[in-house]
Chain A
């Protein structure tokens, strides 16, 4: 019941964005993941919705000012996140399906493969003076997340948000398995 309420709440948020809210151009079927997930988060904020959202950010609040600054150059934020009650309760091949959707213009920045922990892919779209987009595919034991940010983005500022604004700091496990490759 709780799960249904959460899914419905998030779906309402997505629908409430309005019929004109853009969807990302992903040809990926997430229905199976949605069925198996305990919690599903879907965010579709195109340029219009971003402008509307930032208009409601408080200018007297330091954290909200920071978010407004980060978002100022963006034209879209699209997120899909699925949380599961058991480890690897989803088909990991979905990550490969998503990778195939990434078109030209995106460069692979980071690839992490782990036997027991997360697989991580980070792609960026380089611009003339700054990054013009970031695409993250995170396949963790109990969470599968896709983050697609389109527009001029400062990754350092984005990372600094953690620990502020009620965003909890990430608890990273100190142990990790071998077999990691980093593409630079």
Chain B
């Protein structure tokens, strides 16, 4: 029984203190003038998302440029090695021809010397 009475008393309507309405209105005015009430709640999230996307895109661009540089370097090194190999073979065969000519030249001179 006591519980019922206490409950009734607790839930009974009471009038607010004087000036309560005025104080609430002032607080609303203050919040409105600072813009806190009008800004959408998720605007900050969109800005963060945009910044993240920008960061990812620029990182991606930088990475692909970097990868292209690495690939170009690798291709250049391979081409250089091919060139060195080509020079080795070309030099060897050129000198083979040169030695053949010199060998003929010296044998011709030797024949001339033998005849004289």
Chain A residues with a Cβ under 8 A of chain B: 13-14, 16-18, 41, 43, 45, 49-50, 52-57, 67, 70-71, 77, 79, 81, 109-110, 112, 118, 120, 122, 134, 136, 138, 145, 147, 149, 155, 158-162, 165-167, 170, 172, 176, 180, 182
Contacts and interface: CB of A to CB of B under 8 A. Distances in A.
Given A17-B82, A52-B79, A56-B80, A162 B91 contact: yes
A136 B98 CA distance: 12
B9 interface: no
A98 B95 CA distance: 21
B88 interface: yes
Given A41-B85, A53-B82, A136-B90, 10 more contacts: A13-B81, A43-B85, A45-B86, A50-B79, A77-B86, A110-B100, A138-B93, A167-B91, A172-B99, A172-B103
Interface string B76-115: 1111111111111111111111111101100000000000
Contacts of B84: 67, 165
Contacts of A70: 87
A170 B75 CA distance: 30
Interface of B is mostly: helix
A182 B83 contact: no
A158 B94 contact: yes
B80 A161 contact: no
Nearest to A169: B95
A17 B79 contact: yes
Q: Which 5 A-B pairs have the closest CB atoms?
A: A53-B79, A53-B83, A161-B91, A56-B80, A56-B76
10 contacts: A13-B82, A67-B87, A110-B97, A145-B93, A160-B91, A161-B88, A165-B84, A172-B99, A176-B103, A180-B100
A136 B96 CA distance: 10
A138 B95 CA distance: 12
A92 to B, nearest CB: 17
B90 A120 contact: no
A120 B87 contact: no
B90 A170 contact: no
A57 B92 contact: no
